Amino acid sequence: MGRRTNRRFALKIEVEQMFFGQYDHSLDEKGRLTIPARYRDLLEGGAYITLGFDNNLMVMRSIEFDQLYHNLEALSLTNTKARKLSRMLFGSAAMLEIDKAGRILIPQFLRDAIHLDSQVKVVGIGHYFELWSPDLWNEENKLIEDGVTRAEMFEDLNLTFKNG
């Protein structure tokens, strides 16, 4: 009984440390974004922003960014994909600071890269969250709104409730 309770408690802690949900926010005239209140506590240890894979931006805690760095660093320097991925992730990354009002400054070059203007869609993805221009998010979201399309898109993934 004690081991099972510990597993539930550990899972609860892990879930509480996740980014999830969707939020609509605005950028101010300086390119600052107010981070959803629930996310601010999760970013207390520091955070980074970088290009995402789908014409979006990814914001992750320092610990996940560091883990990503070590995973890529372990790959061979002669691996072309690894070099390109490193350029994309680290060459476009910026360290974030959250001001007293709970805002982060999104660098202009990253705003330009994903056509981010005044409105921002914030989407939690578990260990990180994404920032989208609303138009690009609407296009992406259409792909997953239709149940049949969604089922076909994810049918080859092993989505099960079994452990191990």
- 66-96, pLDDT tens digit by residue? 999 999 999 998 999 999 999 999 999 999 9
Q: Given pLDDT bands bounded at 50, 70 and 90, which one contains residue 9? A: very low
Between 121 and 7, residue with greater pLDDT = 121
- pLDDT category at 158 given cuts 50, 70, 90 is confident
Q: How many CB atoms lie within 10 A of CB 67?
A: 13
CATH superfamily of 19-133: Transcriptional regulator MraZ domain (3.40.1550.20)
Cβ atoms of 131 and 56 closer than 8 Å: yes
Average predicted confidence (pLDDT) for the chain: 88
| Radius of gyration (C-alpha) of the chain in whole angstroms | 18
Instruction: Report yes or no: 118 and 26 within 8 Å, Cβ to Cβ.
Output: yes
Give the predicted TM-score (pTM) of the model: 0.84
Residue 161 pLDDT greater than 80, yes or no? no
